[in-house]
Amino acid sequence: MIKYSYLLLLTFFSFTLATAQNDIQDNEINKKIDSIVSLLTLEEKVAMCHAQSKFSTKGVERLGIPEIWMSDGPHGVRAEISWDSWDYAGWTNDSITAFPALTCLAASFNPNLSAQFGKSIGEEALYREKDVLLGPGVNIYRTPLNGRNFEYLGEDPYLASKMVVPYIKNVQKNNVAACVKHFALNNQEHWRSTINVEVSDRALHEIYLPAFKAAVQDANVWAIMGAYNKFRGQYTTHHELLTKTILKGDWNFDGVVISDWSSAHNTMEAAVNGLDMEMGTGTDGLGTTTSNHYDYYYLASPFLKAIQNGDIEESVVDDKVRRILRLMFRTTLKPNRGFGSVNTEAHHDVARKVAQEGIVLLKNENNFFPIEDKEGITIAVIGENATRSMTAGGGSSELKPQFEISPLEGIKQRYKKAKIIHAMGYHTGPSVYDNIIPSTLNQDSLRVQAIETAKKADIVLYVGGLNKSHLQDCEGDDRQSYELSYNQEEFISELKAVNQNLGMLLVTGNAVETPWLSNVNGLIQTWYLGSMAGHAIADVVSGDVNPSGKLPFSFPKKLKDNGAHFYGELSYPGDGTNQYYKEDILVGYRWHDTKKIEPEFAFGYGLSYTNFSISDISTDKKKYSLEDTIKVSCSVNNLGNTDGSEVAQVYIGKQKSKVKRALKELKGFKKVTLKKGDSKTININIPINTLAYYNESISDWEVEKGEYTLYIGNASNSITKKIKVRIQ
Ligand code: GLC
């Protein structure tokens, strides 16, 4: 007994010591910061608050204070950009590992994988000598048309919150700052720089802010990026409610607020509402042609003059500089900072693992997948997406990977016995790295070739979907229709007409309309998977890996079935000036469940090559107090003859309530890996305070007492058991 208590004591003191050490460290740093601030001239302070180049801010050479260097993006470190233009710098040593885009990471429902992702991309950012990695993006998936959904973590704030925290923590363990973005309500690209979003406080706090709040309060993110759009008439990048009151006030954020590139619009607001580092301004008449136009930034000479003539207190710039210096002590001034690494086998393994676990099996009639590699069969891999680069394009998240294994390449390398043949079928125009000139490709002949190829094969794998071109999955604007472009629906039916054995790989970062679904026997959602795309796809297609991904967003059958599109133009995309989130808190599956509109594929849905059941579901109690935690236990059983992973999901709803509610909301999940025939009992704990709703009448969170229903299953539309509990 003595030995045990000694151990407990030792643990307690070491924890206290560590916390104390952190506090001492923070105090030490704060003292250093104060002493540095006292040495700086006003001009030097102001110069630190805005860009000196496309992706860097000034230091103070006189005092040995370094510059700060930033780089995109959320799923890879972007190639070096020129000092003062968007042109690439043409370096030959800046190619990197392209990791899967974040919708794939979200689909893995595996926070441990998110930690590995963050560690790896942080090592690559450190190696590329970046102090701030401009990612992850966590804007909620409100409409399937948003051009940047592929960069984000889906439609559910709980899933996004749970998946973003490990990523940020592990980027920052490399002494590189993550910069969670875009704060806030940047849920479309159309009119992104000007649109004014109107949304209720409840939807703001319950749907659109939670992932940012988790980044700040659970992951201690060191930087956050403002968004382009307005909210209630004010630009979000320097917004009194968002950046001043909520972020730096209520959430006590001690890091830096960085603007999006040219998202700052006003000196006084930027000064007093909490913008710390202004980047990319080149609009509003400040023109990039002006010599040394950086002096014309809102937080440059206008800011200096406002302080000099007393319109703004010097303490305002001092706070910004303190935050910037704290960022430096956490990154570029960190002793023994390390050197990072790039393009390592370890990073390639993580990229492949995230891809493998994020891929979602959506349909598998007569076990079309997996496809066995055997002598004598011919597999036709058809479609432009079988070879098109998907790391090129897409906007600021585009990458220059050391390599990118295409779906065709991956399948060719994996299948040694079967004969693999290929036809492009159609060409949509050059991607950045694509050296095929469309004029030399006659679309009709491409089509005919593909049909002939399909006729020769035993199995046809059509690789379709979207791509990273403008008006597809790309920053800067949204898709203009929910369907697949380039007449793919017609093409798929032509392929089916000549070969009944047709499966499809859907390369998108978004939901799409699926009128062609009955024409494909098997359907796999393969995301944008980066460097290891082809290998991960071949791993799943061949059965080397059993798919375990679950959709992080719903696939509505029709666009009008989606909440953002139900209320017409004013809701999406707005009237060019304002837009109103009229679906309010009913985003994604919350809309489908509550309005009883069945989606094509539901949030949380994904098939496997084996069969699972969830049984013996129970809660530890039936009655809970506000301080309690609901302990859900269940057994997950692998009933098939293949090892695999399942995601047990717990949703909670309140039928009788004094406020509007979604039928149910995700409040817990756990991914379980099981050998064939195995079972495992798991616990999912749900603190009662996470059931709070945002009470607008008191501008605060409140847990409503009364009866709640727990829904336990393996998808939002696949519930095994409901359990009623009371909170009293
Ligand atoms: C872009 C993006 C932002 C990116 C920045 C720098 O406009 O909105 O996500 O980090 O500019 O490229």
- The tens digit of pLDDT for each residue in 565-617 reads 999 999 999 999 999 999 999 999 999 999 999 999 999 999 999 999 999 99
How far is it between the farthest Cα atoms of the chain? 83
Same domain, 517 and 627: no
Minimum CA distance residue for ligand 1 atom 9: 396
Let me know if residue 229 belongs to a domain: no
Residue 18 reports pLDDT greater than 80:
no
Minimum CA distance residue for ligand 1 atom 7: 261
Same domain, 407 and 474: yes
Same domain, 326 and 360: no
Residue 282 has a pLDDT of 74
Nearest to 149 by CA among 107, 195, 86, 114: 107
Residue 433 reports pLDDT greater than 60:
no
Same domain, 390 and 499: yes
- The tens digit of pLDDT for each residue in 228-241 reads 999 999 999 999 99
Identify the CATH number of the domain in which residue 504 sits: 3.40.50.1700
Nearest to 723 by CA among 649, 658, 632: 632
User: How does DSSP assign 194-240, residue by residue?
Assistant: TPEEE--HHHIIIIISHHHHHHHHTT--SEEEE-SSEETTEEGGG-I
> Helix/strand/coil (H, E, C) string of 102-170?
HHHHHHHCCHHHHHHHHHHHHHHHHHCCCCEECCCECCCCCCCCCCCHHHCCCCCHHHHHHHHHHHHHH
Same domain, 385 and 516: yes
Same domain, 415 and 464: yes
For ligand 1, whether the C-beta of 258 sits within 6 Å is no
The minimum-distance atom of ligand 1 relative to the CA of 72 is 10
Let me know if residue 171 belongs to a domain: no
For ligand 1, whether the C-beta of 261 sits within 6 Å is yes
Across the range 183-199, mean pLDDT stands at: 98
Q: Ligand 1 pocket check: which of 261, 262, 263 to mutate, most ligand atoms within 8 Å of Cβ? A: 261
- The tens digit of pLDDT for each residue in 341-397 reads 999 999 999 999 999 999 999 999 999 999 999 999 999 999 999 999 999 999 999
C-alpha 537/C-alpha 408 separation (Å) is 9
Same domain, 388 and 277: no
Residue 13 reports pLDDT greater than 70:
no
User: What does the mean pLDDT of the chain come to?
Assistant: 95
Q: Which two tokens stand for residue 593?
A: 């469940």
Let me know if residue 385 belongs to a domain: yes
For ligand 1, whether the C-beta of 72 sits within 6 Å is yes
Residue 293 has a pLDDT of 83
CA of residue 132 to ligand 1 center, whole Å: 13
For ligand 1, whether the C-beta of 457 sits within 6 Å is no
The 8-class DSSP code of residue 79 comes to P
Let me know if residue 538 belongs to a domain: yes
The minimum-distance atom of ligand 1 relative to the CA of 263 is 7
- Domain extent for 634: 610-727
Residue 341: how many CB atoms within 10 A of its CB?
15
Q: pLDDT class for 564, splitting at 50, 70, 90? A: very high
Same domain, 535 and 618: no
Residue 292 has a pLDDT of 74
- The tens digit of pLDDT for each residue in 144-175 reads 999 999 999 999 999 999 999 999 999 999 99
260 is catalytic: yes
Q: How far is CA 263 from CA 188, 226, 239, 384, in A?
A: 15, 7, 12, 36
Minimum CA distance residue for ligand 1 atom 12: 396
Let me know if residue 271 belongs to a domain: yes
- Measured at the CA of 229, the angle between CA 80 and CA 103, to 5 degrees, comes to 60
The minimum-distance atom of ligand 1 relative to the CA of 55 is 6
CA of residue 261 to ligand 1 center, whole Å: 6
Residue 435: how many CB atoms within 10 A of its CB?
6
Nearest to 634 by CA among 616, 647, 619, 621: 616
Q: Ligand 1 pocket check: which of 258, 260, 397 to mutate, most ligand atoms within 8 Å of Cβ? A: 260
Same domain, 397 and 449: yes
Same domain, 419 and 555: yes
Residue 429 has a pLDDT of 75
The pTM assigned to this predicted structure is 0.96
Let me know if residue 572 belongs to a domain: no
CA of residue 710 to ligand 1 center, whole Å: 40
Residue 528 reports pLDDT greater than 50:
yes
- The tens digit of pLDDT for each residue in 25-80 reads 888 999 999 999 999 999 999 999 999 999 999 999 999 999 999 999 999 999 99
Residue 438 has a pLDDT of 54
- The tens digit of pLDDT for each residue in 665-679 reads 999 999 999 999 999
Minimum CA distance residue for ligand 1 atom 3: 260
Residue 25 has a pLDDT of 81
For ligand 1, whether the C-beta of 151 sits within 6 Å is no
- Note whether 342 and 129 are within 8 A (CB): no
State whether the Cα torsion 510-515-517-519 is positive or negative. Answer: negative
Across the range 531-550, mean pLDDT stands at: 98
State whether the Cα torsion 401-56-469-502 is positive or negative. Answer: positive
Q: Which two tokens stand for residue 642?
A: 């293949």
Domain boundary among 291, 313, 330: 330
- The tens digit of pLDDT for each residue in 266-309 reads 999 999 999 999 999 974 445 556 667 899 899 999 999 999 99
For ligand 1, whether the C-beta of 55 sits within 6 Å is no
For ligand 1, whether the C-beta of 134 sits within 6 Å is yes
Residue 7 has a pLDDT of 54
Q: Which of 72, 94, 260, 373 is catalytic?
A: 260
Let me know if residue 551 belongs to a domain: yes
For ligand 1, whether the C-beta of 260 sits within 6 Å is yes
Same domain, 392 and 319: no
- Note whether 411 and 368 are within 8 A (CB): no
Q: pLDDT class for 1, splitting at 50, 70, 90? A: very low
CA of residue 137 to ligand 1 center, whole Å: 10
Nearest to 150 by CA among 423, 472, 373, 606: 472
Residue 283 has a pLDDT of 45
The minimum-distance atom of ligand 1 relative to the CA of 182 is 9
Same domain, 456 and 549: yes
- The tens digit of pLDDT for each residue in 595-605 reads 999 999 999 99
Domain boundary among 282, 313, 330: 330
- Note whether 640 and 367 are within 8 A (CB): no
Identify the CATH number of the domain in which residue 619 sits: 2.60.40.10
CA of residue 333 to ligand 1 center, whole Å: 25
Q: Which alpha helices (DSSP H) does 230-313 contain, by range?
A: 267-272, 301-308
- The tens digit of pLDDT for each residue in 483-512 reads 999 999 999 999 999 999 999 999 999 999
The minimum-distance atom of ligand 1 relative to the CA of 78 is 12
Let me know if residue 571 belongs to a domain: no
Give the CA count within 13 Å in the CB-facing half-sphere of 204: 19
Q: Ligand 1 pocket check: which of 71, 134, 259 to mutate, most ligand atoms within 8 Å of Cβ? A: 134
For ligand 1, whether the C-beta of 78 sits within 6 Å is no
The minimum-distance atom of ligand 1 relative to the CA of 179 is 10
For ligand 1, whether the C-beta of 152 sits within 6 Å is no
Residue 285 has a pLDDT of 45
For ligand 1, whether the C-beta of 357 sits within 6 Å is no
What's the domain count of the chain?
3
- Considering only 88-97, 283-292, 440-449, which range has the smallest mean pLDDT? 283-292
Domain boundary among 330, 365, 391: 330
For ligand 1, whether the C-beta of 54 sits within 6 Å is no
The minimum-distance atom of ligand 1 relative to the CA of 73 is 10
For ligand 1, whether the C-beta of 223 sits within 6 Å is no
